[in-house]
């Protein structure tokens, strides 16, 4: 009994504290994306702990209870997404975040509807919730566990859609190292809480909650002691990213030599759907380094380089294989139509393939 009272007191007081911290972040005049995301994160977490405490004293209708939990964890997941995307240099492709947010709404709706399958199939309660000791039907239990997957999924997906990559993380940056460690700890704690729900383990669920509350409080103290942590970590990752992409003159020369040797093989350009990833595979050079080579050292895109290479090879075929038709040459160098080949040939050489052949 004393342990229950202590747990309830810590859960409710920490929830109020975290919600107040979140409101404090949001009330700050500094318009920094990281601060705004932190405000939503702490406000959502505080509300979640308060809701967990409140549900032990007042039982809400099951659909409303799940709906409120989904709304809270949805906001929490979006704040995690925004924090990590900010840390890793923003979206690599605009609009990706908006699509993910819509996906999250669809996921939340799916989870909210899931328990209705229990009624549809006439499934009975099989276990007690470790949080409020309510009976849980099978699909409802799965829905409550899956709620905790949303913030974890956002942490993983955020790195995938951001401008920088995990390979850009600087090993010597203390700010980055601490943030990554804290993120990993949070993921483990969320899995522990979800596992407590799924396997009906009261101790695992409660200790997971307590540890997560301590994690949030410690995180706030850390941010207060080092308010520029996220900004500094982002700068460190950006510097590491630029260093990773930089090519020396010797490296650029080696890439140029390897591509020239590759173009001597007739089949290299024959595929009309030839992509940068195909070139990377054929040459053994990572795609991102090829992009840097084309943009920084050649001043053109991959598609422009590919077009020039094809026209150059077409000129060689026009000179060397006089009996080969222009249409066959177009197909040989990777064009799917004669019209496209003719227009690109004239744009780059100033003349048509037929006129070029006659001038030889």
3-state secondary structure of 91: strand
Quick one: which of 178, 185, 167, 164 has its CA closest to 87?
164
Kindly list the distances between the CA atom of residue 20 and the CA atoms of 39, 46, 48, 235, in Å, as whole numbers in the listed order: 9, 8, 13, 29
Kindly list the distances between the CA atom of residue 215 and the CA atoms of 9, 33, 44, 182, 211, in Å, as whole numbers in the listed order: 17, 22, 15, 8, 6
pTM beyond cutoff 0.75: no
Give the pLDDT confidence score for residue 60 in this predicted structure: 84
| Confidence bin at 131 (pLDDT 50/70/90) | low
- Rounded distance, CA 341 to CA 269, Å? 13
- Rounded distance, CA 178 to CA 189, Å? 17
Q: Which range among 80-84, 107-111, 129-133, 352-356 shows the weakest confidence by mean pLDDT?
A: 129-133
Beta-strand relationship, 135-136 and 127-128: antiparallel
Mean pLDDT in residue range 281-294? 86
| Confidence bin at 94 (pLDDT 50/70/90) | confident
Q: Which residue has the higher pLDDT, 349 or 171?
A: 349
Fold of the CATH domain 246-358: Arc Repressor Mutant, subunit A (1.10.10)
What would the pLDDT profile of 313-351 be if each residue is shown by its tens digit? 999 888 888 889 999 998 988 898 889 999 999 999 999
Residue 6 neighbours by CB distance under 10 Å: 11
Q: Is the pLDDT of residue 133 over 70?
A: no
Domain positions in the chain: 2-241, 246-358
Give the pLDDT confidence score for residue 130 in this predicted structure: 66
Statement: 2-241 belongs to CATH 1.20.1070 = yes
| Confidence bin at 43 (pLDDT 50/70/90) | very high
- Rounded distance, CA 137 to CA 126, Å? 6
**Is residue 108 within 8 Å of residue 150, measured between CB atoms?**
yes
């Amino acid at each position: 009994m004393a342990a229950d009272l202590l747990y309830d007191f810590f859960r409710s007081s920490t929830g109020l504290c975290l919600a107040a911290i979140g409101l404090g972040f949001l009330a700050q005049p500094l318009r920094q994306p990281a601060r705004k995301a932190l405000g939503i994160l702490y406000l959502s977490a505080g509300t979640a702990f308060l809701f967990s405490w409140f549900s032990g004293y007042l039982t809400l209708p099951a659909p409303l209870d799940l709906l409120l939990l989904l709304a809270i964890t949805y906001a929490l997941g979006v704040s995690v997404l925004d924090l990590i995307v900010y840390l890793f240099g923003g979206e690599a492709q605009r609009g990706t975040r908006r699509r993910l947010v819509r996906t999250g709404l669809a996921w939340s709706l799916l989870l909210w509807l899931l328990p209705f399958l229990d009624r549809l199939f006439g499934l009975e309660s099989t276990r007690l919730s470790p949080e409020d000791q309510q009976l849980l039907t099978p699909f409802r239990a799965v829905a409550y566990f899956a709620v905790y997957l949303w913030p974890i999924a956002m942490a993983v997906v955020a790195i995938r859609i951001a401008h920088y990559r995990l390979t850009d993380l600087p090993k010597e940056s203390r700010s980055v190292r601490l943030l990554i460690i804290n993120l990993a700890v949070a993921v483990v704690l969320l899995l522990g809480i979800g596992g407590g729900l799924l396997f009906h383990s009261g101790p695992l669920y409660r200790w997971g909650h307590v540890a997560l509350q301590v994690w949030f409080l410690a995180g706030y103290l850390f941010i207060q002691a080092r308010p520029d942590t996220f900004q500094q970590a982002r700068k460190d990752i950006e510097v590491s990213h630029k260093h990773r992409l930089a090519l020396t003159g010797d490296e650029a020369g080696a890439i140029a030599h390897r591509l020239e040797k590759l173009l001597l093989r007739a089949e290299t350009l024959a595929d009309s759907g030839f992509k940068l990833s195909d070139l990377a595979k054929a040459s053994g050079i990572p795609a991102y380094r090829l992009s840097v080579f084309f943009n920084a050292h050649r001043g053109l895109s991959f598609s422009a380089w590919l077009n020039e290479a094809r026209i150059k090879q077409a000129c060689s075929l026009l000179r060397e294989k006089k009996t080969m038709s222009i249409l066959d040459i177009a197909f040989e160098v990777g064009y799917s139509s004669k019209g496209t080949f003719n227009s690109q040939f004239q744009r780059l050489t100033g003349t048509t393939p037929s006129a070029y052949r006659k001038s030889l």
